[in-house]
A and B are shown apart, each in its own frame.
Chain A
Amino acid sequence: MKKETIIKLLPYQAPFLFVEELTYISENGVKGYHTFKNDEYFYKGHFKDNPITPGVILTEVMAQIGLVCLGIYLLKDEFYEIKKPQIALTSFNIDFFLPVKPKERVEVVSEKIYFRFNKLKCNVQLFNEKNELVCKGTISGMLKLMDE
């Protein structure tokens, strides 16, 4: 499946779509990136007069690229036109090391730990443009395809 097709199948849209482009995908992992705009809605409140990307948003970026995009790739069969992915985040454990400011581009690198009985668990890392580690951890979710 093409990387562009995967992004089209994502069940998200602005302002909560955090997958700009996928650069690599296989049965074992995925790489992709996202660039934060200067005027993302969450910068107004996090923090007052000091915009920093919230950890929950970085976690969401890691989950959308590292878990959901990979999951769609792993689930896909030839009938994908009529089916939509159904997704539930079930757990994550992330350590954070560096802040991410507006307009920064971040890269997500995810490796599959296992995908069994519809549960996908991955080791996920997020890097900034200087290739410094921003955060890393494990994320799990349940994924299946639904008939529309």
Chain B
Amino acid sequence: MTRKELITSLKKIIKPYSQNQEAFKNLSEGTDFINDLKINSANLVDIILDVEDEFGIEIDNESMEKMLSVKSAINIIETKLAES
């Protein structure tokens, strides 16, 4: 899976939880889930659970705490996919 394809899949997951539609439309690797998309901590957990299902990976507590932006999420997904 290319990085571009990963972002497309991730974007689909993030959409229903995203509160700032303008920031969502302009989503890039630099987009921050909390500050830009205004996603709350409970929905951040939902995104991580959806990512686990979508990519067939398991996210641990340490990775979860780092998954605060599109870039960090993509990096973690790529690392976990490479491990599996």
Contacts and interface: CB of A to CB of B under 8 A. Distances in A.
Partners in one complex: yes
Interface of A: 88, 90-91, 114, 116-119, 140-142
Contacts of A119: 41-42, 45-46
A36 to B, nearest CB: 29
B45, B61, B64 — which one has the most chain A CB atoms within 10 A of its CB? B45
B64 A90 contact: no
A22 to B, nearest CB: 25
Q: Is the interface of B mostly helix, strand, loop or mixed?
A: helix
Nearest to B52: A116
B48 interface: yes
B9 interface: no
Nearest to B67: A117
Contact of A140 (B42, B61, B64): B42
Q: Which 8 A-B pairs have the closest CB atoms?
A: A90-B42, A119-B45, A117-B45, A117-B64, A119-B42, A142-B42, A142-B41, A140-B42
A91 B44 CA distance: 13
Contact of A114 (B41, B49, B64): B49
Interface in B28-84: 40-46, 48-49, 61, 64
Nearest to A141: B42
B40 to A, nearest CB: 7
Contacts of B41: 90, 118-119, 142
